[in-house]
């Protein structure tokens, strides 16, 4: 008599874990929090200090994470933390603020929505994965949906803003893929990994922020609230969850969750401005959400591999 037992977790197909849906839902919270960045920046922070804002978002959060985790990088993780911190935050944060200042919010958000497409191609080059044409298509559909939601007839193009927006998408996209490639050292918590990168980004930005931007002369209570929100919720908590999710989810599917960020930004903008959403914008919401949800589904090859492993009599005893 044979008793068939499930295959060990190490032998299951990637993405076949029953926890994938849970981790997808948890990780999706992160881009929703990031969707508040534009509102917090424009309504709370002093204008004209993108480097200082980026430094305030990363360095204090990194210091807090290091105090909580009490772990420092070892060996190659010193330079890896510097590379990842620069790509994910040190370069991305200022470019995000520059794009938001130089472009209408809708244009900046649409350029940022290109990140899933960037990640899909970088995964081929860096991770040596097969190109997921399906997820590239969902990325294009999602970007189109975001464009319908946030682009208006008065959308103007600034070359500086466009370059900053696209460079920011490539910067963080590269950081996401390298985070997936390098993983996390044994015994290191997600908050430690986030802290290493945030601290590295803050140190990279410290001198440019002080020498180029300087300290804003009019930091009031609202500005401190904005810095605290972007640093604690938008960086410390968000990146801790984000890196944990990247480790457990397919990298391109995780990047597609980023479509939630401009959608949340549009909702908050409409709510604060008291505007109603047009039928075209509602269509855009539907397209972006369909693309994001469809991009989370495993490929047919992954499903076949999962079925093959679940039907295999591994671990059976006679």
Q: What is the DSSP string of the chain?
A: --B--PPPGGGSPTT--TTHHHHHHHHHHHHHHHTTHHHHHHHHSPTT-HHHHHHHHHHHHHHHHHHHH-----TTHHHHHHHHHIIIIITHHHHHHHHHHHS-HHHHHHHHTTHHHHHHHHHHHHS-PPP-HHHHHHHHHHHHHHHHHH--TT----HHHHHHHHHHHHHHHHHHHHHHHH---TT--HHHHHHHHHHHHHHHHHHHIIIII---TT--HHHHHHHHIIIIIIIIIHHHHHHHHHHHS-HHHHHHGGGHHHHHHHHHHHHHHTPPPPHHHHHHHHHHHHHHHHTTSPPHHHHHHHHHHHHS-TT-B-
Grade residue 315 by pLDDT with cuts at 50, 70 and 90: very low
The full set of domain ranges for the chain reads: 26-297
Grade residue 229 by pLDDT with cuts at 50, 70 and 90: very high
Mean pLDDT for 6-11 is: 40
Q: Per the confidence metrics, is the pTM higher than 0.75?
A: yes
Q: Tell me phi and psi for residue 52, to 5 degrees.
A: -65, -40
Query: Which pLDDT score is estimated for 108?
Result: 67
Grade residue 154 by pLDDT with cuts at 50, 70 and 90: low
């Amino acid at each position: 008599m044979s008793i068939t037992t499930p295959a060990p977790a190490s032998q299951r197909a990637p993405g076949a874990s029953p926890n994938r849906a849970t981790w997808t839902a948890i990780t999706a919270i992160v881009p929703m929090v990031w969707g508040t960045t534009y509102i917090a920046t424009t309504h709370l922070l002093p204008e004209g200090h993108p480097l200082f804002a980026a430094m305030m978002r990363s360095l204090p959060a990194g210091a807090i994470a290091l105090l909580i985790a009490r772990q420092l990088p070892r060996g190659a993780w010193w330079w890896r933390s510097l590379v990842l911190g620069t790509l994910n935050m040190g370069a991305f944060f200022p470019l995000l603020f520059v794009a938001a200042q130089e472009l209408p919010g809708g244009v900046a958000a649409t350029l940022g929505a290109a990140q899933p497409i960037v990640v899909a191609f970088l995964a081929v080059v860096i991770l040596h994965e097969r190109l997921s044409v399906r997820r590239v298509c969902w990325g294009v559909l999602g970007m189109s949906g975001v464009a319908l939601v946030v682009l208006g007839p008065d959308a103007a193009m600034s070359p500086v803003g466009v370059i900053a927006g696209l460079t920011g998408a490539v910067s963080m996209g590269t950081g996401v893929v390298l985070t997936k490639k390098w993983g996390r050292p044994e015994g290191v918590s997600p908050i430690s990994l986030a802290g290493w990168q945030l601290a590295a980004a803050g140190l990279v930005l410290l001198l440019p922020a002080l020498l180029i931007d300087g300290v804003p002369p009019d930091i009031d209570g609202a500005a401190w609230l904005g810095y605290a929100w972007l640093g604690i919720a938008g960086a410390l908590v968000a990146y801790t969850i984000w890196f944990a999710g990247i480790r457990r989810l397919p990298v391109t599917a995780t990047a597609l969750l980023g479509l939630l960020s401009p959608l949340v930004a549009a909702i908050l903008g409409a709510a604060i401005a008291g505007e109603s959403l047009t039928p075209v914008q509602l269509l855009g919401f539907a397209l972006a959400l369909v693309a994001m949800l469809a991009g989370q589904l495993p490929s047919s090859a992954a499903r076949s591999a999962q079925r093959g492993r679940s039907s295999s009599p591994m671990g059976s005893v006679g």
